[in-house]
Structures are given as C-alpha cells and as structure tokens.
Structure 1
C-alpha cells in the first residue's frame, strides 16, 4: 500500500540514495522535500534533489527562524524557485515564538506575509510551521508571550492567514500539527490539511491525538519531518528519523482512529493528490 511523506528534509542526509531506497521498501513511494536549508541561499537544494529523483517533490521557503534574511533579493530567489515545475508548495513558512534568539515578531510576520504573497502569485499551497512559547524558556516567554498568552503564535498565525491567505482560495498544510482542537478546527475551516508526524505517537501527545481522532479523513496527511521526530517504536533506538518511518505514524493513526492501515494509506495518498494535482 502506497504512502507519501508530506514533509521531510532530504538535504540533511549524506546517504540519500539509501534513504530513498529504504522509503520505497517501506511503501513510501513519494516524498515532499522541504526546501529551507539553513537559509535562503540553500532553498535550491531540495529543488535540485527533486529534479534528480522522480519520486521527490520540493517546496521552497524561508523558515521563521531565518526571517531576518528575507529581503528583496531572497524574495526574488524564492519567486523564481517557486515557479519551478518540481516545486509544488511554498514553505515551510510561518511563525516561531519558541526560541529566545528568534527574529522579532514584526520581522517574522512581515516575512510570512511576503512569502504568502509569492505563493498566491504562483498559485501554489503553503506549508506552515507554527511553534508557540508554551514550553519555551523564560527568556523566550518574555519576548513572545504578548499579554502572557502562550498561544500568541497561533493567534497571530490565524489572524494573518484570515487576512492574507483566505482571500486567495488556496489550500495549505499545517505541518507537524501540534495545536489544540480549537486551532485544528480553525485551520480546517481555512482550507488547511493537518499533517501528523512522529510526535503524534508519543505518550505525552494526548491533545494532538485527540485532534488526530477528530480530523476529517479528507483533511489528513502523514509526514516524518525527518530527520527529526522519530516515531514510536523507533524513538530512542535509531540515530535519525527517515521517510520510511512514515509507515509507523500511519499505523499509529489507523489504530487511534479505529481504521485499517490500508484505508489510512489510501486516504492520505488521495488527499496529497487533491492538494497537489500536478503530482497525480
């Protein structure tokens, strides 16, 4: 049964042919390689990989942690790459209020809005990164928790999406969904798909699991966020996550939702094709 890893960082691997062979052996036939690198100068790497491997698609974007590097030159580079035939999304973009050293809120929000504008011009979905200050260190909380609100990143994100993305009528992905039910419903209402990574399998992820049970089947995707977020049962047992492990997350979701693994695999694959029709 075919699976698609809707979010992984292939430019982090030195043994890419073996990683993709492992994925295929596990039934993960296609992957979306996220083109953020360590900043705008590396966005092209995922695109280059996608041109080399027929089962790899790419996105391009500037991560919110690198928002200070968004300028006319990097936006022009993004616009050019986003028009490439192997690029199916812009991202991961969004807001990150977790690390104290991250760019200022205003810088992150401006970078986010500017990148949404490019995605709208090329008529491609966006894939969203959002991280709150809820579990952050005190220094980050002091910088980013407006009025003591640990969900400020989500509140700001939804406000900006309603203002700048909803009018486009285009969809998107909430990558590695880690929000609550209220945020999930707001995202789905805005036309987003919720993508679940290995962290949904963790014992402490009760809120995410509640959302995963609820999300409509036609709005669900699976991912690894590899090489990060290794799922149970491999967590702590392997040195890095990889796209093949999409299999474990899909199996967990099937059990969680009382559905068959085959149905989860089929539905998430269909969802990916609907979201990205040029991949069909």
Structure 2
C-alpha cells in the first residue's frame, strides 16, 4: 500500500504512526509552508519509506515572499523530495486572494520544472460554488504541468476529466468511505485504473471505521478497501494497481 498524501508534522506522535506504517511501500509527507516543508524532509531523511513534498498551501499565499522562495528552493533540490506542493486554489477559507494564489502556483510550477517534481493540487470552493475547480482547470489547461495529481478528489468530474486529458492522476482519501459520498464511489468506479491513487491526508479525513480519530498513514488500507469494492476488484489487485501508479508517478 502507498499513502500518497500525509502531513506527518501535524500528527501528535508521528514516529509512532510511522512505526505502524512500516509495511507501506511509501508515504509522501507534504509541506504547506517552509517550516512544515522542512519537517517533511526531516521525516524523509529518517524513514526509508517516506518522501517529501515542499510548497506553500493556497491558504498561505498571502505570505508568499522572497524569503519564502529562498527557504523552499534548497529544499526542493533534495533527492528525497518528489513533489512541489501542496499547492492549488482554495476559495473556501477566504484566506488569500485569487491573485496571490496564482503567484504561488507560478512559483510551484517553476520548482516542479526545475527539479522534475510532481505538482500536488488542492482545490476547494465555497459550498454551492465551483469557482476554484474552474480556475484550477483553466490554469492546468494553460500551463500543462508535466506530472501532477488532484489530491483528495472531491467529485468534480469536469476537473477530473481535464486532469486525465492532460496526463494527471486522481487521488482518493478517507471521504471515499463516507456513506453520503456515493458520488465519489461512482467516480472511483468510472475513472481509468492506471490514474488512480489513494491517500490519507493525515491527520485529516479519517476513513470509516476510524472516524472521530486522527487519521494516520496506516489507515490508507480502509480507503483502498473502499476503492476496490467500488471497482469490483480484489483488494490485492487494487493494491497492486495503486502501488504501481504511485511508483510510476513519483519515481520512488
């Protein structure tokens, strides 16, 4: 199994969680600003199955500055870093302007191209809107990053179709297991098998039967089980497919 998106620095006892995740082929720990990006790299240096992503989350975009770029650039050059991000577009929290978020996206693309990294995209609109999804779709079509993933897929099929058309991957998190999210399971059943990934987004989005607890990498099993069930294949086959997809995308 592979957890393609976690925030290890936000776990209460990350090393204990990683002990429970020793059987995973890989865990990608993502940064959301310079300090958490550096922490992700520290975990990657300490654990053989952990890799890092460095970036500035869209809700942190107003903090973008020359100092931020100077702190992130050397981290991105490290061989244990495989992703530029978590980045993307977020209009849910009203934390940063659209212009600031687009400036950060341009910088994250620069890092990705310079160091041959995967871009990891977060996207979230306010309830009832799809403005963030449409803006990210337009950005992807204009800039065409060579390798990218739509993380914690929320069900916008138009964005997924654009991502797939441009060579991207789609990752499912613990919300795939929630009873109300039949539309996510329908999407998971329909999307091409060779573009599917699973993740935890630890410590967020804990899957059934761990809801109410902090998520951790070992719980990726439950999302993988839900994905296998949605597609009508054996767990072991779904594990093989998603492990190979992650290996091909992140090159670990």
229, 249, 252: which one aligns with 1:275: 249
SS in structure 1 at match of 2:184 = helix
Q: Deviations over 1:197-252 (max 9, x none)?
A: 0001111212222211111111000000011101012213xx31111110011011
Q: Any unmatched runs of 5+ in structure 1?
A: 136-149
Residue 17 in structure 1 maps to residue 11 in structure 2? no
Q: Which one of 39, 42, 63 corresponds to residue 45 of structure 1?
A: 39
CA contact (8 A) 1:28 1:247 kept: no
1:123 aligns with 2:119: no
Aligned to 1:259: 233
Partner of 1:33: 29
Q: How many residue pairs align between the two structures?
A: 252
TM (norm. structure 1) is 0.86
SS at match of 1:153: helix
| Aligned-pair CA distance for 1:172 | 0.8
Cα contact 2:186–2:230 (8 A) shared by 1: no
CA RMSD of aligned residues (A): 1.3
Per-residue CA deviations over 1:23-57 (Å, capped at 9, x if unaligned) read 23xx4232001122xx3333211001100111100
> Counterparts in 2 of 1:214-229, with a 5 A limit?
214-229=190-205
Please give the secondary structure, in 1, of the residue aligned with 2:21.
helix
Contiguous gaps of at least 5 residues in structure 2: none
CA contact 2:27–2:217 (8 Å) conserved in 1: yes
Q: Distance in 2 between matches of 1:16 and 1:106?
A: 35
1:133 aligned partner = 126
Where has structure 1 moved over 3 Å in runs of 4 or more?
Answer: none
Task: Please give the alpha-carbon distance, in whole angstroms, between the structure 2 residues aligned to 1:29 and 1:64.
Answer: 29
- What does residue 138 of structure 1 align with? none
Structure exhibiting the larger radius of gyration computed from Cα positions: 1
Match of 1:172 among 121, 139, 148: 148
- Distance, in Å, in 2 between the alignment partners of 1:197 and 1:275 is 17
